[in-house]
Structure 1
Amino acid sequence: MADFRQIAILGVGLIGGSIGLAALKRKIADKVVGIGRNADRLARAQRHGCISEGTTDWQAGIREADLIVVCSPVESIIPLVEQLVPFCQPGTIITDAGSTKQTIIETLHASESVRCRKDVYFVGSHPMAGSDKSGADHAQADLFDNRVTIVTPAPETDRTAQANVRKFWESLGSRVLEMSPAEHDAAVAITSHLPHVMASLLAASTPESLLELTATGWADTTRVAAGDVELWRQIVSTNRGHVLQSLTNFEKLLAAFRASLEAGQDEHWIKLLEQGKHHRDIVGS
């Protein structure tokens, strides 16, 4: 178990709140400080047990932290880390929970404000957990249990800091995988970003006049479409190339299904359904 005296969380929403809730319940840190712009929301997060205390003064919030977890939308991670680094105490580790990694990590490792602090370490992370719900009110201490968290080191990443970040996520209950930022972005475009786009398009394609006829199949398939649109705009925009490639691959499969259906070649499109069932059965509930 990683031993952190004080953890600072920037952005105490569902993910940040769940990190703080789990860290406090599992006694991973003596104190968890939540940092945000809304004092009322921070107070609610504290009442919910997600943080030990909250502050809107980010410099005060990170001053004594030996681990900082940035849980903001992906487009704000780079400027936030660049802003934080000069004020960190020596030895501080910074990680994030962003859903895309390559642009963030390449930019930060090239950033002058980050490069000049050899005693502050950034390690990219992405917990593959979440919900269509948002806010610390929906935080769960077991959100990361048996869920994969991807740690994305670059050649410049400090290996001791990398190991400590890995141990941190494992101590929250995660199974940790490590891959390069580029490998991560290509993989999650298929497993996370494409499913969200497809769920949203399916929901959008259903006429409002027929919504009362939808049942559990429609609801289950489109559940993630209820997620925050601005959050997903940022995710898809920062992983545009890989999302486009995943769409191309899906379009080929859809075209094959359509062609076999039109030609009356039932055995061909049935095989696609069987393959889908096989993959879904592997994942289980």
Structure 2
Amino acid sequence: MKPHDAAEPNNSRWSDLERPPLNAVALRRALVREGGLWSEVDVVQRTGSTNTDLVARAVEGKVREGTVLIAEEQTAARGRLDRQWTAPARSGLFFSVLLRPAEIPVARWGWLPLLTGVAVATGLSRAAGVDTALKWPNDLLVTVGGEERKAGGILAERAGDDGVVIGVGINVTLREPELPVPTAGSLALAGAVSTDRDPLLRAVLRSLEDWYGRWRAAGGDAAASGLQETYAAGCATLGRAVRAELPGNRSITGEAVAVDGDGRLVVATEEGVREPVGAGDIVHLRPT
């Protein structure tokens, strides 16, 4: 991996003046403090996947909890279900963080990607002035031209016995011709009041530190920490007709009625069954 200020002979970091590079020194100064969560902030010019890199470093014992790895460009980024995800260099926020909630029962770790979604949405709402919503379990939605579009995603992966790496990708300045699919969006297309990535990233990481601290203080109890209620309030999936595509080529259709204490989406089917969904792909169905 190359450091942030490494020379790039074929791709100058100043090649797109509307997309200036992140200021790694200023980010460290703002985020790394005594007694805080964030212990290290590392910005690299290009890598395959920040999640892959940080998981490897965590397993080798080379990094502490609170390490943040940010890439200006990812060449092999992954979403859920091994989906590939690409974006132009410096067009978004692409980063991973290492958390080690060792004192929290592992059964409650499933809330971490949902917690991250709440933190990202609340941080961006304040810093970018964009109305954001969450699609269960890990998509960030914005409204572009009256349509619901995906502007970001979250991927959590175990890192050894005591760690979790959470990767976040947020489209910030993607223009319409650059969108990978018509259903994608960006903060700029949603009318953000600011697309300056430095303050956006600071806001998101401070929000994540706050929510992670609340959750840990409550012993990982999503209800007691206020996380379950806040997630439900910002979840665009609840109250919607959905199709849940489950492992084993099974699917169910019904109304998403709740997020339970384990972070699972509860779907009320036409047969009157309330089925909790812990893993799978959720499709928002249009009303007939």
- TM-score, structure 2 as length reference: 0.26
Greater share of residues in helix:
1
Greater share of residues in strand:
2
